Structure formats: C-alpha cells, structure tokens
Chains A and B, each alone.
Chain A
C-alpha cells in the first residue's frame, strides 16, 4: 500500500444554529482546506463525504445533498456513515482511496447541521432502538449513556467529581479555539450543580448539539512531496464493530475501541501507546467517555484514566495532552464534523500551527478516535510527522 499524507485542513465555526445550509457549511470547510495547501478543485481526484443520520439535517440521501458543497461535481464521490464514529471513519475511507493507488488527491468533508431538527435532535435518535422491546419504554440516548456511566463508575469506584474534571479541562481548552461553540471556564462544582439530565449525567457532563463542517485534503506520497513542505502522514488506521445489541456487552469497557486501536497500532508499529504517542484526541461527547476511551485505547489500565486527569497528565501542558482542541465538550458536537475536527487538530498540532492551543515539546505523533452507531463502533486514526 502507498503512503498517504494529510496536506490541508479547514473547518467552520461550530455554532448552535448556523445560517448556512448544510451544503454551504461543507463548501466553507472544503474551500478552506484546499486554500490551506494551495490546491483547487481541479487538483482533486475523488471526494469522500462523511455525515451522520439523514434525520439530523432532515434531508434524505444527505450524501448526494452535500456532494456539491463538498466538491463532488463530476468526480467519484462516496458518502460514508458509521454514526458518531463517522468523523474519524471518513479519513480512513479517504486513506484507502489513496493507499489503493487509485487516486492521488482526495478531499474528505464532514458535515452536520443538527439545528434543523426540532424540538431537539435527540428526537431523531428515538428510532435507533429495537422497535419492539425497547421503544415501548420511550428510551433516548441519554439513558444509555447514564447506564454506561453508572456501570463504569461502579466497576472502578470512580466519582462524579473526578469525571467532571474532564469537562472542566476540555471547556477551558476550547477557549483557545477560534471555532469553538462552548469554551468556558467552569469548576467541578458547576458541573455537579448543573441540571440532572438522567442521573448520573448532568447537563455540563454533555457536549452541545452544534452545526458545522470540517475538511482535510489527503494525498499520495508523490503528490504530497510536491505540494507540501510539511505533510503529516497517516501511520495507522483501525475500525471495529462490537455486538449491535448494546445490552449484550458489559458497558464498563469499550472493547470496540480497543480492537480498533490494536489494528491501528499494528499498522503503525506501536507497542507502547503511552510512550509512543504524544497527543490524544479521543471522542468526548460526555466527560466520562474521554476516560472510557483512553482506557480502550490502552493508554492506561481500565479504571485508571480518571487518575491521569486528576494528576494533570492529560492537561494541554501535561505529559500526555488529551483533547487539546477542547474536544466535543468545548468545541462542540456537529457529529461527523466533530470527529474530523479532531483529525484537523492533530494536523495543526503536529505542524506546530495550533496557535494558543499548541502543546509544548514539538509532538511527533497523535491519535484521533471516534465512536458511534449504538455504541459499538470504534474508529482510530494515527498521524505522524
């Protein structure tokens, strides 16, 4: 397989309600990514669109709807979708478009416009549950995260105070992100005293629903060396599916993340992720999920991620910066765009272009991860310079 590089990145601001349509958001991010590396649409051989359920934007066949704004006019164009994991899956699809040797330059664009959906995008999630045994109970996503968080806390004896530190850290990091929806300086008490949504989940444990888009440009080695003086290389990719019945797993540990990570580590030749990876952008739609995912990614033993946070290891200037972007909790959560935002963050961090968010020490390698469907898909991308 050929080597694949990321040579450009762009994103819109993440906001509660964008005036732009979904295709306009896609265009703004895609154009910014192309401009960032001095390429035009003529240089693009193929397009990958990532977007989560059609029900968010309220447009069926959203891939086709977003295609023109994503630069797909008269090009081989493919939309991929694995729920919340889409934003890190789309660059994997972009990677094999190029690694296969079929294309030299691929534009990868992820978009979500959650604000179209009323009264709240959670309504669109109601029909992901089993229609006969579960929907009769009126479940929503918050329930299953609350059940998972409860299981995770109970198995390891982790407190809500420890978990709240993740929300405090990420929302503060987001203050330095020019595209952030919800950067803020809050305290653990603010999290604990915020409205209970579904115990043990309080409002500030959760990321906001946002509108936005993000994009990257991926190239073969031959083109990357011509168009970029600092290409960032895809060193590993991994994706994995666990049982589709969320009730058939022990929720305390995300095996699907571990298996996806092992696939990416094998490809990158990584034996000890804690020592060999400098920045982590795990998927953090809820604060406990950052900890849960760090464990699945094998950065520590199950149950030990909270201590890393308490000890400041995961701070932006810590030994292992985690979500230096501000994550979904701070930058916002336009589902697929949020995952690709994490890959954009690695690109900027590894090139030393992250501005006030720049982690110290010239990081050489970073990992982005997302997770989705009904909590059983893990996707991982490792970038290095």
Chain B
C-alpha cells in the first residue's frame, strides 16, 4: 500500500493508545538552575574544575572527564545567536498564523548553547552572531521552568 491511509475504518482495525503520563524530576543539577532563574532572573552554569568546560544548563557531571560539577557560575541572561530557524508549519503540517523563530544562544561565559524561542519582529530579522538577551516573565508569574524565559530578543 503506497497511498497514505486517510480512512482507516475501511480496513478492520482495533483502536489503541498508551495511557501513560510522565512526571520528570529536573534532577540534582537543574534544581539550582531553575531556582536562580525563578528567584533572581539569572542563569547558572557548571564549570568543570578539570577541563574547564562551562555547561549551561548545568550538569551534575562533566561528560568529558567525569568530574562531579557544581552550578557555581552565575551569568547574565545575554549571549550570542549561533543559529536560527523560522518555523512555518505545525506538527500536523498546518500553516502557522504567525511564523515562530527559534535559536541557539550561547550565553556569555558558557561554552554550550541553549535552545529557545526568538522574539517575533519584522524589524529585527534574526542574524547569526547578533547579541540577544532573555525576556523573562514577571517574577510573580515564574514557576521555575524553562518557559520563565519568554524568549530571547535582539539587544
């Protein structure tokens, strides 16, 4: 059968689903990261005392040398745009009313990139290498999630 099946009822079927949901612990390394974001609007990174790589978001361990790390570096939520995309269709293939831009941001003082939304604006087309900053939710609305950052926008 080479055509996309648009009417599955035309053949005999049994409907099914996997009825599970997940609750993920953010983990030992991410607890202080989200607390700092929620309470102080700052980003924590974990520098490796052996090889020097600064991980953001922080990690419990250095993947390169297996040192145990602490999220000891507090950084301003600003950085450089390393790459971007502008998404025009949703997961089902429908056109989005408003295209949404996403980017990889290397926070100043970190060696790894953070993926997040970019502000939509006709005036400010994203450009690789541009300086961007995080726009945070008002403190009262933050919940300790990555979405406490609304998006990044050009500085």
A117 near B61: Cβ-Cβ < 8 Å: no
CA distance A116 to B21 in the complex (A): 8
Q: A20-B25, A24-B27, A24-B29 are in contact. Are A41 and B60 (CB under 8 A)?
A: no
Please name all residues of chain A whose beta carbon is closer than 8 Å to the beta carbon of B61 when the two chains form the complex. Answer: 24, 27, 31, 68-69
Determine whether A123 belongs to the interface, using a CB cutoff of 8 Å to chain B: yes
CA distance A41 to B30 in the complex (A): 24
CA distance A17 to B142 in the complex (A): 25
B27 near A68: Cβ-Cβ < 8 Å: no
> Looking across the interface, which residue of chain B has its beta carbon closest to that of A68?
B63
What are the interface flags for B52-76 relative to A under an 8 Å C-beta threshold, 1 for contact and 0 otherwise? 0000000011011110100000000
Name B18's contact: one of A20, A55, A74 (CB within 8 Å). Answer: A55
What are the interface flags for B1-40 relative to A under an 8 Å C-beta threshold, 1 for contact and 0 otherwise? 0000000000000101011111111111111000000000
Name B20's contact: one of A30, A69, A118 (CB within 8 Å). Answer: A118
Determine whether A71 belongs to the interface, using a CB cutoff of 8 Å to chain B: yes
B14 near A58: Cβ-Cβ < 8 Å: no
A135 near B63: Cβ-Cβ < 8 Å: no
**Could you tell me the distance in whole angstroms from the C-beta of A329 to the nearest C-beta in chain B?**
25
Please name all residues of chain A whose beta carbon is closer than 8 Å to the beta carbon of B30 when the two chains form the complex. Answer: 21
CA distance A55 to B18 in the complex (A): 9
Q: Which of A126-134, A157-165, A238-246 contacts B (4 or more CB under 8 A)?
A: A126-134
Please name all residues of chain A whose beta carbon is closer than 8 Å to the beta carbon of B29 when the two chains form the complex. Answer: 21, 24
What are the interface flags for A48-70 relative to B under an 8 Å C-beta threshold, 1 for contact and 0 otherwise? 00000001001000000000110
How big is chain A's contact interface, by range? 35 or more
Determine whether A19 belongs to the interface, using a CB cutoff of 8 Å to chain B: yes
Determine whether A136 belongs to the interface, using a CB cutoff of 8 Å to chain B: yes
Please name all residues of chain B whose beta carbon is closer than 8 Å to the beta carbon of A18 when the two chains form the complex. Answer: 25
**Could you tell me the distance in whole angstroms from the C-beta of A271 to the nearest C-beta in chain B?**
43
Q: A27-B66, A41-B66 are in contact. Are A118 and B22 (CB under 8 A)?
A: yes
**Could you tell me the distance in whole angstroms from the C-beta of A162 to the nearest C-beta in chain B?**
36
A135 near B16: Cβ-Cβ < 8 Å: yes
B24 near A116: Cβ-Cβ < 8 Å: yes
CA distance A31 to B30 in the complex (A): 20
Residues in B75-117 with C-beta less than 8 Å from chain A: none
Please name all residues of chain A whose beta carbon is closer than 8 Å to the beta carbon of B19 when the two chains form the complex. Answer: 123, 126
Name A41's contact: one of B20, B21, B23, B65 (CB within 8 Å). Answer: B65
Name A117's contact: one of B20, B27, B65, B66 (CB within 8 Å). Answer: B20
Determine whether A40 belongs to the interface, using a CB cutoff of 8 Å to chain B: yes
A123 near B20: Cβ-Cβ < 8 Å: yes
**Could you tell me the distance in whole angstroms from the C-beta of A269 to the nearest C-beta in chain B?**
38
Please name all residues of chain A whose beta carbon is closer than 8 Å to the beta carbon of B63 when the two chains form the complex. Answer: 68-69, 73
CA distance A42 to B64 in the complex (A): 9
> Looking across the interface, which residue of chain A has its beta carbon closest to that of B21?
A118
> Looking across the interface, which residue of chain A has its beta carbon closest to that of B68?
A31
> Looking across the interface, which residue of chain B has its beta carbon closest to that of A31?
B66
Q: A27-B66, A40-B66, A73-B64 are in contact. Are A58 and B22 (CB under 8 A)?
A: yes
**Could you tell me the distance in whole angstroms from the C-beta of A62 to the nearest C-beta in chain B?**
13
Please name all residues of chain A whose beta carbon is closer than 8 Å to the beta carbon of B24 when the two chains form the complex. Answer: 21, 58, 116
CA distance A78 to B22 in the complex (A): 26
CA distance A58 to B30 in the complex (A): 18
CA distance A372 to B23 in the complex (A): 26
A117 near B22: Cβ-Cβ < 8 Å: yes
Determine whether A124 belongs to the interface, using a CB cutoff of 8 Å to chain B: yes
**Could you tell me the distance in whole angstroms from the C-beta of A380 to the nearest C-beta in chain B?**
31
Please name all residues of chain B whose beta carbon is closer than 8 Å to the beta carbon of A136 when the two chains form the complex. Answer: 14
Most buried by A among B16, B29, B64, B66: B66
Q: A27-B66, A40-B66, A58-B24 are in contact. Are A124 and B18 (CB under 8 A)?
A: yes
A19 near B27: Cβ-Cβ < 8 Å: yes
> Looking across the interface, which residue of chain A has its beta carbon closest to that of B22?
A58
**Could you tell me the distance in whole angstroms from the C-beta of A34 to the nearest C-beta in chain B?**
7
Please name all residues of chain B whose beta carbon is closer than 8 Å to the beta carbon of A71 when the two chains form the complex. Answer: 66
6 extra interface residue pairs, beta carbon distance < 8 Å, beyond A69-B61, A116-B25, A123-B20? A17-B25, A21-B25, A24-B27, A69-B63, A116-B24, A123-B18
A-B contact list, 10 entries, CB within 8 Å: A30-B66, A31-B66, A41-B66, A69-B61, A116-B25, A117-B21, A118-B23, A119-B21, A123-B20, A124-B20
Chain B interface (Cβ within 8 Å of chain A)? 14, 16, 18-31, 60-61, 63-66, 68
